[in-house]
Amino acid sequence: MAHSSPGTTVPLLRSNRTSWRSVSETRRAYLDHAATSTMLPEAKEAMREAMELRGNPSSIHADGRRVRDLLDVAREALAGRLRCAFAEVVFTSGATESANHALLGLALAHQSGARKRILASAIEHPCVLQLAPVLGQLGFRLETVPVSRDAVADPQRWADRLSDDVLAVAIQHANNEVGTFQPVREVAELAHRVGATVFVDAVQTMFEPWTVDELGADLVALSGHKIGGPAGVGALYVRAGTRVNAWIRGGSQERERRGGTENVLGIVGFGAAVRTLLRRSGDLREARAASRDAFLRRLAENLPGAWTPTVPLQSALSGHAHLLFPGVDAERLLIAMDLLGVSASAGSACSAGSIDPSPVLLAMGLDPKAARSGVRFTFGWSSTPEEAEWAADRVAEAHGRVAASRTG
């Protein structure tokens, strides 16, 4: 390993990788906020200040208590946002851990019981659906409930499957890929009638006005980096009285519900982002909506008839625009867009150099070819209509290049 000589400045962020260097760096438009949003200035500043402190939040000395106070302030912010009790907020490493904690923790707490079925929407995030094998090893069966072509759950389908052997239901407040809101309250009421616990993935809806009681949720997964906080931190709301066993052990942190020293810097940044949301949620939602609408208007002007919304946009999140480009492969379009300076996603996993058909789009009833033509454009608090219009121009140009190469 090479060492620098005295007085030499070594870049803190340095990479020898060159895979990104062919893309446009003169100007870029970021339209992938559903994956990770731009960090809020308030979150950055709070984390900078916290870096000056030392001490473990579990220590009883003054340094430890001072750091512990920072966690309490962040927990109070989350509790205020959710309208829940301070003690009902558990900090985690992110929403994936929160979902695992909720469903595996429920299973561990109820292994000796008669309820062995868990119902989940067919368009849930992989952090829920991929738990099926593990839940099976614990003696539980994860079953999926179909959705409509518009990616919306039908409460009647849930009612038909609910019975007193169902331990829990898992349903997103809004889908992370196409953005559709789900009838969470109706499903929760049906589930509670048979004594089932309700887990809600609310990762994409922190900008929206809701409380845990309005959702009817017993467990809610949240994420920091989707709202302008840092990555690597999340939270799980656990309604008082809900039996969920800890599955990360090794300490008494988080009231013995999640072992391990808390990610203080991440939690501080998350809390600061939540406090900003509490003050400016309306403005931040409007910024997302205005940018999305500007993008769609310009794209309709530049590329008429070449695309269609995957779902009715009025039923989706204000910052989401999932579009189908018939006859165009999403992977090729994304690469062309990236080279022109636009970051977006297909909302599906990349494998061996090709994009597999999106499980969400397939669950909606699209055929594999149509599913491979879907692109997700998502806007955040830092998006602007001007950026969105510039991006739409680049998308139209990229589409033209891909279409020409296909027919040429």
- Residue 389: both structure tokens together: 């219009």
Asked if residue 64 lies in contact with residue 261, where contact means CB atoms within 8 angstroms, the answer is no
| Strands 219-223, 197-201: pairing kind | parallel
216 closest CA partner among 181, 187, 179, 174: 187
Question: What number of helices (H) and strands (E) belong to the chain?
Answer: 14, 14
Annotated catalytic residue 350: yes
**Calpha distance 180→321 (Å, rounded):** 10
- DSSP state letter for 204: G
Q: Token digits for 223?
A: 């994420």
Beta bridge partners of 375: 323
What's the Rg (C-alpha) of the chain? Answer: 22
The DSSP symbol for 88 reads G
E strands of 181-289, at which residues? 197-201, 219-223, 234-238
* Position 391, amino acid: A
Query: Which one of the listed residues 350, 367, 386, 406 is annotated catalytic?
Result: 350
* Local structure of 135: helix, strand or coil: helix
Which residues are part of the catalytic machinery? 350
